Amino acid sequence: MTPSEDSVSTWSCKQVAQWLQEKGFGEYVELLCVQHRLDGLSLLALTEADLRGPPLGLTVLGDIKRLTLALRQLQRQNQAQLEELGIQTSDSLAAGLPLDTTGLEWSCERAEIRYNACDLLSNGTELRLRNGNRCGYGTAAALRHTHSNGRYRKHLAGRLDPEVWKTVISVIYVFFVFGFTSFVMVIVHERVPDMRTYPPLPDIFLDSVPRIPWAFAMAEACGLILCYMFLLILLLHKHRSILLRRLCSLMGTVFLLRCCTMFVTSLSVPGQHLKCSSKTYSDTWGKIQRALAIWSGFGMTLTGVQTCGDYMFSGHTVVITMLNFFVTEYTPQTWNLIHTISWVLNLFGIFFILAAHEHYSIDVFIAFYITTRLFLYYHTLANTRAYQQSRRARIWFPMFSFFECNVNGPVPNQYHWPFSKPALMKTLIG
């Protein structure tokens, strides 16, 4: 016997199963009615978000949409029962939502709309409607409004806006920092301690491991391989703009800190093999030319750049470690081979830096620690949106707040071919 759709709240699990069969959703009877014991009352409260998220986790989009429409029809037919239970449907919420924007307060840091009504949650995106006593729930198609640099924008909740203009700013930022670092390296070279007066400092690793002449070139080769791996991931990643923006902001910030540390403290040369002596330039233009030579050669010995005095802390370790963390973070967890290769290159790169006796052990350790901590702190804040609830975090990390204010949660690892398909390929595969 077909259950009456006017008294859904009294249905048993068997009647819910019968309704699912009649609507063409028989394959979900086991999941909904047997595993999760869904009766009529819980059926009325079921939403699209429940279908998509755990513990149900439906993945077929067509089934999700058709089942959602069928549920909405049931909810409309049982409106009185829902009101008695205090459950508001999306239709009734939309009918009661004010159309004007009086009292609207825009906030970029929280990526939300603030009204003077109540707090509205929609698909995990928070639109705060303040008035203390009542709160409704919006549909999955609710729009999220954001404010950025004085301009109001509107887009679907959960969408990751590439914000290319911010990425351009981050690229300019990291290039400026690299140029500034190169100039500081020139100044530091002028202040290199005389090896006859200040011999190499005692170092357990350097004193125990004999120098390998070709090791530093191998360390830079490890860095180049990691760089090519990341560029390939960047090319194919759907959210490449966000990845590049994060890499540039993190890399620029670490190297800006490195400028301070190597300028403040000049360590003695770590090895007698290094022909380092104080080098003085006649004028500022000579220093700028030398800085441009370092900047254009990326500070690498493979490009013919030789520097002295820039020991605290290791820039090569920063680059290798940062690239490794980006490769492992923005590839799926199942890509174990890629992750293993990335970590092997990172660890061998660090070993080769030390084996070449180009840096003290403390230089490499501090570089690795600062790079990993900053990466983890940045992504923890970005993934949890914890800084939204903390004014202190927004004060201490203004650049982070600027770059990440419109990125909601973790960036999914989705890939696609960035170029349009050639005509021949379109003919073959459509």
Residues acting as catalytic residues: 316, 359, 363
Buried b (16+ CB within 10 A) or exposed e, 187-208: ebbeebbebeeeebeebeebee
Q: How many CB atoms lie within 10 A of CB 384?
A: 12
Tokens of 318: 């920063």
Q: Round to whole Å and give the CA distance between 365 and 362.
A: 5
Give the helix ranges, DSSP H, for 191-239.
204-208, 215-236
Supply the DSSP symbol for 386: G
Q: How many CB atoms lie within 10 A of CB 31?
A: 16
Q: Round to whole Å and give the CA distance between 284 and 142.
A: 58
Q: Round to whole Å and give the CA distance between 250 and 324.
A: 13
Return the beta strands (E) in 83-219 as ranges.
105-107, 112-114, 119-122, 125-128, 143-148, 151-156
The reply to whether omega before 375 is within 30° of 0 (cis) is: no
Q: Round to whole Å and give the CA distance between 378 and 382.
A: 6
Cα–Cα–Cα angle for 17, 19, 23, nearest 5°? 115
